[in-house]
Homo-oligomer: A and B are copies of this chain.
């Protein structure tokens, strides 16, 4: 369905974080395929699981959490119910106070990529309500989890 080439920023050699999710009947809309919004719920699941795996909350400290600045999805194939998908996440960029991830939704049965996405999150101090420089510990944890340098 997509009219655009794959994301230039997603030569991600691998996706170190992967969650398998069942497609639910209620994920399907009037067009008889999984609704576009559901993919963002899955991206969020991959993103938060990734954060848990690198112990993001512990590294950022109290009152500081990632906040989503932007996210996109490119739909590649329609999905049906029932089925199971794998939603995957990898970090592709680390900046001063923000970082970019790519996401991928794969149909478990066929192995087909159903969607690709990209999101940028910011290190955010919820008490001060402003962004914060990414601690070096976080950058190190991301690089260790990805197995490569990120900046």
Contacts and interface: CB of A to CB of B under 8 A. Distances in A.
Nearest to A37: B40
A118 to B, nearest CB: 8
A8 interface: no
A19 B21 contact: no
Contacts of A112: none
Nearest to A31: B65
A57 to B, nearest CB: 11
A21 B24 contact: yes
Interface of A: 1-4, 19-22, 24-26, 28-32, 35-37, 40-42, 44-45, 47-49, 52, 65, 67-75, 81-82, 95, 97-98, 120, 122, 124, 126, 131
11 contacts: A3-B97, A3-B122, A21-B22, A25-B48, A25-B49, A30-B32, A31-B67, A36-B71, A37-B37, A70-B74, A70-B75
